[in-house]
Amino acid sequence: MQTTELDPALSQALGDAQRAGLKLVIGNKNYSTWSMRAWVAMTAFNIPFEEVNISLKQPETSSQILQYSTSGRVPVLVAGETVVWDSLAICEYLAEQFPEKNMWPQDVDDRAMARSICAEMHSGFGALRSAMWMNIRASFPGKGRTPEAQADIGRIGEIWEDCLAKSGPHDFLFGDFTIADAYFAPVVMRFRTYAVSLAPVLQSYVDRVAAHPAVEKWIAGALRETARLPALDVYPE
Ligand SMILES: N[C@@H](CCC(=O)N[C@@H](CS)C(=O)NCC(=O)O)C(=O)O
């Protein structure tokens, strides 16, 4: 297990994180979608935190995670005495702790929609998740297109189109970047890895999310990782 820093302004960031008392425990950046959501949200909104990396699927993974949370899963946010597990609970906690950051959309209807699509992502899209797992370093063009995964892709396209029709074709789902975009960032990674062909308005959203500085930082971290999960690095024939 190692504790790493966020960016080159290391001591400043780490000092801020220690003062804020926030620690985010995450899995491998290349593979861990739930970790990515919380990390991208915190990074995009400039919330300082100390990062704790745990390599998934190792003999010691479970005991390492259990040091932070009895859930046995990452991400985990440790905020002083408070432990918050589950990516959605973490995002809600942060939105409440940092109201000035507007992590959710400001408009009440948009906020309801943003929460709905995050909840749908959180509880659904199982076919996409299992047939088209996240592997940022890999390239699996055309793989994983089971009928059920195709249906999930169609539904995600419908959600994004709906949001972008209201916010604008050059925007994030609700205008400025929000938790909802962080929530769909791992889907964006999958669409790139599996070369999903999309309508231009959706493709440009994918490109925009991938180019967001917080997402770029996560991708760079995934590319730097040396841990490999062989079962996820090759797509079975
Ligand atoms: N619903 C949870 C899912 C968390 C989850 O399944 N995390 C996976 C990694 S992405 C995990 O911790 N797996 C434990 C393991 O592989 O030992 C969330 O939103 O945080």
Q: How far is the CA of 222 from the centre of ligand 1 (A)?
A: 17
C-beta of 178 in contact with ligand 1 (< 6 A):
no
Contact 25/76 with Cβ under 8 angstroms?
Answer: yes
Contact 38/185 with Cβ under 8 angstroms?
Answer: no
pLDDT at 61: 98
pLDDT at 59: 97
At 156, list the tokens. Answer: 């995600």
Type of residue at 11:
S
pLDDT at 14: 56
Contacts of 30 (CB under 8 A, 6+ apart): 134, 135, 136, 137, 222, 225, 227
Q: What is the pLDDT along the chain (237 residues), one digit of tens a residue?
A: 544 555 665 565 555 555 568 999 999 999 999 999 999 999 999 999 999 999 999 999 999 999 999 999 999 999 999 999 999 999 999 999 999 999 999 999 999 999 999 999 999 999 999 999 999 999 999 999 999 999 999 999 999 999 999 998 889 999 999 999 999 999 999 999 999 999 999 999 999 999 999 999 999 999 999 999 999 999 998
Contact 144/168 with Cβ under 8 angstroms?
Answer: no
φ, ψ of residue 50 to 5 degrees: the values are -95, 135
Type of residue at 9:
A
pLDDT at 99: 97
pLDDT at 171: 94
C-beta of 87 in contact with ligand 1 (< 6 A):
yes
Give the pTM.
0.93
Helix H or strand E encompassing 24 = strand 22-26
Q: How far is the CA of 87 from the centre of ligand 1 (A)?
A: 9
**82-85 and 76-79 beta bridge pairing:** antiparallel
Beta bridge partners of 52: 3, 25
Beta bridge partners of 85: 76
For ligand 1, atom 13, name the residue with the nearest CA. 73
Which residue is associated with the tokens 């990674």? 189
